[in-house]
Structure 1
Amino acid sequence: MTPDAAQFSSSREFTLETLGWDESLASAFERYRDSYTPGRVSSRHRTTFAIITESGSMQAGISGALRRVGRIPAVGDFVVLHRQPDTGTSMIVDILPRKTLFTRGVPGRDGDDQVVAANIDTVFIVTAAGADLNRHRLERYLTLVHASGAEPVILINKADLAIDPSTLTSEIAPVATGVPVITLSAVTGYGLSALDPFLLPGRTVALIGSSGVGKSTLINTLLQRTVQDTGRVRESDGKGRHTTSVRQMFILENGALVIDNPGLREVGIGTAGSGMNDTFPEIRELAAGCRFSDCRHEHEPGCAVREAVAEGLLSQDRLESYLMLAKELEFQQEKAEIGLARSERKRWKEISKVARDIRGTKER
């Protein structure tokens, strides 16, 4: 079964509302009429996008205007399609306002963020019992999710492989402040019912996590059919190979929408600074008592955060994690600003060239 066929093997008909359409999107679409129709991106291929509309699934490219300004749709985006009767195809001509946007940092000198998915209500951060259960990696994921505007939920999969599943939650409790943590097994079905409050009709959930944690198996279990390939995990380090190669949105029988993502080898936080306060709420609260409002919690006098560490109220490990991410964010922000300046110089260089060409034409 091809990926696109898997999405629509159900005989149910889809309306915009079942795809997550709301009044704000309807208002943004009002200026389009006649040959325009809305749809939602379900997957991205090399040159085209799979789009779900009320009429079914279709493939569409993007307009040259969008490509020139770098506005590329992401999985989960609501887009405006222009029907082209002469060719029987449709073209994406606009991206409607995003409610939430999940991004991650990528290597490179410009400090660009990579868009992972858009218009997500909840992000399932999937980890697994064993080597992948890493508190520092979870702090990175939580920072990204909090910055996106979506609600984070931590899933500890493969509970069937743990000697005592009840102890898994306590291992990550120090970093999961205020975040739901669910222990489950996508293979046996243990704990799956705890996902029901998040998998609601018209709501969008994205799965992120390392390769081998069982995201594809969980998708297959939720859909009650095999739509994603699964692979074995190496016993030496608990890591798996990438069996999911594209981001893709599926629709469950109850109308919930689930986006599967390829495993992330690197969890760069990019410029997601706005997620730090929610990821480290105890440090945010302690920082209010620092002598200086711009305290970096390193060597400044009167630092309430470091005093809390000395008194045993905050772990040194937690503070070191915070400082490491804060420095990474600062570095990425500097790269992003340099990249923006470089991009702006390139843009003005192109404008100047066009202006010179126009003057040369007039003089001739």
Structure 2
Amino acid sequence: MNSDSGEKIRPQKYKLEDLGWDDSLASAFEKYGGSYVPGRVSSRHKTVFDVITCRGSVQAGASGALHRIGKFPAVGDFVVLLPVPEAGTYTIVDILPRKTVFSRGVPGKDGSDQVIAANIDTVFIVTAIGPDFNSRRIERYLAIVHSSGAKPVILINKADLSEDPDSVIDSLSLSASGVPVIAISALMQSGLSQLEQFLSPGTTVALIGSSGVGKSTLINALLKKEVQATGGNRESDGKGRHKTTVRQLFILDNGALVIDNPGLREVGPGTSGSGMSEAFHDIIELAAGCRFSDCRHENEPGCAVRKAVEDGVLPQERLDNYLRLSRELEFQQEKAEIGSARLERKRWKGISKAARDIGELKKR
């Protein structure tokens, strides 16, 4: 279906408020003229983005200016679109300020983060009964989510496979650090009523977790229809088959928005360590009693953290994971600083070259 201007638009329409639009976004958009249209990115396909607007769902590419500065929208971003009626296309010319940014560290020399999703209110950390269940991985997820500004909730899926799911919840009591832990079965659609408190109209929830934990099955259960392909468990290890390949935003019947993510193979902590104090608040509190303020909790005398391990108050595995993540964060920060310095040198090299070119022109 085409509009009067010839632009290709899909018919389903929403009010901006239905997408999570608020006064701060409206204020940021005010500087743009009447030709521009706001929207929210619902999925990305390499260089093309699906964007939901009050006119309908459209496809758009990022402008050359955004390409030059390496600034690309993520799923969940609110963007500024410029319609090109004569071509029947849209171009994303800017990204409006993000309320929260969910990202992870990625391999590379510059230590940069990969933005997974933006403007998230709550993140469902999905794990499952069976081989995938790993409290150390959940601690990593918690550090990342706390850093994003969103609120984490831990979902233990496939609870129907356990005779005592409450014992699994209890085993996460220390790692969860007060974060809600909910046992569900997306396939059997049990326990889903407990999620309603996080799925109010206009709020955005993102699902993260490793491949095969049942995120797509949960999406289908929440939407009450098959929108995501799912696979059964492999007989070899009991894990579900990975199906989701594209991040995508869905709108539930009650008006809540949910973002499904492909399984994360690597869970790097990135350059943002702000979530560590919340994910490991017990260790941070113990560290206040260390003899030295810069104690690394390894071999220093008077270390209150190691004393807690010796006394059986703090599990050795939790401390080991904290130290491992702390070292990764330090390494990522060093890479980020080196990458920033390299970009700054490149920028000044370009400025110097431009100045020389101008000097040569004046001599002529």
Same fold (TM over 0.5): yes
Aligned residue for 2:39, secondary structure, equals strand
Instruction: Give ranges in structure 1 of 5+ residues lacking alignment.
Output: 1-7
How far off is 1:200 after superposition?
0.7
CA distance in 2, matches of 1:277, 1:216: 31
Offset at residue 352 of structure 1 (A): 2.7
Determine the C-alpha separation between the residues in 1 that align with 2:243 and 2:297: 42
Quote the Cα distance in structure 2 between the aligned partners of 1:358 and 1:182. 65
Work out whether residues 132 and 238 of structure 1, in 8 Å CA contact, stay in contact via their aligned partners in 2: no
Structure 2 residue matching 1:196: 3-state secondary structure? helix
Q: Secondary structure at the match of 2:229?
A: coil
8 Å Cα contact 1:159-1:183 kept in structure 2:
yes
Residues 225-251 of structure 1, C-alpha deviations (whole Å, 9 max, x = no match): 111111233233344443111110000
Structure 1 distance, partners of 2:322, 2:223, is 38
Shift of 1:28: 0.8
Amino acid at match of 2:202: G
RMSD over aligned CA atoms reads 1.6
Structure 1 counterpart of 2:5: none
Q: Are 1:76 and 1:249, in contact at CA under 8 Å, matched by a contact in 2?
A: yes
2:100 aligns with 100
Distance in 1 of aligned mates of 2:199 and 2:46: 30
Name the CA distance, whole Å, in 1 between partners of 2:287 and 2:212: 38
Alignment of 1:293-332 (within 5 A): 293-332=293-332
- Separation (CA, whole Å) in 1 of partners of 2:162 and 2:313: 31
| TM-score scaled by length of structure 1 | 0.94
The alpha carbon displacement at 1:280 in A equals 0.6
Identity %: 69
> In the alignment, what sits opposite 1:202?
202
**SS where residue 237 of structure 2 aligns?**
coil
Contact 1:143-1:272 within 8 A present in 2 as well? no
Aligned length: 355
Tell me if the contact between 2:129 and 2:159 (Cα under 8 Å) persists in the aligned partners.
yes
> Per the alignment, in what secondary structure is the counterpart of residue 321 of structure 2?
helix
TM-aligned CA deviation for residue 294 of structure 1: 2.0
Q: After TM superposition, which residue ranges in structure 1, 4 or more long, deviate above 4 angstroms?
A: none
Give the conservation status (yes or no) of the 8 Å contact 2:286–2:305.
yes
Counterpart CA distance in 2 for 1:351 and 1:237 is 57
Is 1:148 the equivalent of 2:126?
Answer: no
The reply to whether residue 121 of structure 1 matches residue 97 of structure 2 is no
Determine if contact 1:49/1:61 at 8 Å carries over to the other structure. Answer: yes
What secondary structure does 1:342 align onto? helix
Amino acid at match of 1:288: A
Report the AA paired with residue 184 of structure 1: I
Aligned to 1:363: 363
Identify the residue that residue 348 of structure 1 maps to in structure 2.
348
Q: Contact (CA 8 Å) 2:230, 2:241: kept in 1 or not? A: no
- Whichever residue aligns with residue 111 of structure 2, its letter is G
Supply the AA of the counterpart residue of 1:171: S
Cα distance in 2, alignment partners of residues 67 and 244 from structure 1: 27
CA–CA separation in structure 2 for the residues paired with 1:46 and 1:331: 29
1:307-352 CA-partner distances (Å, limit 9, x unpaired): 2222222122211111111111111111111111122222222333
2 CA distance for matches of 1:354 and 1:86? 37
Residue 59 in structure 1 maps to residue 59 in structure 2: yes
Letter in 2 for 1:264: L
Task: Please name the residue that 1:89 is paired with.
Answer: 89
Q: Is the 8 A contact 2:184 2:191 kept in 1?
A: yes
SS at match of 2:283: helix
Measured at CA, do residues 298 and 237 of structure 1 come closer, stay the same or move farther in structure 2, by a change above 3 Å?
Answer: same
What is the rounded CA distance, in whole Å, between the counterparts of 1:116 and 1:171 in structure 2? 29
> What are the superposed Cα offsets for residues 249-288 of structure 1, whole Å, 9 maximum, x if unpaired?
0000000000000001111111131110100111111112
**Runs (5+) with no aligned partner, structure 2:** 1-9
What is the distance in 2 between the residues matched to 1:112 and 1:146?
Answer: 18
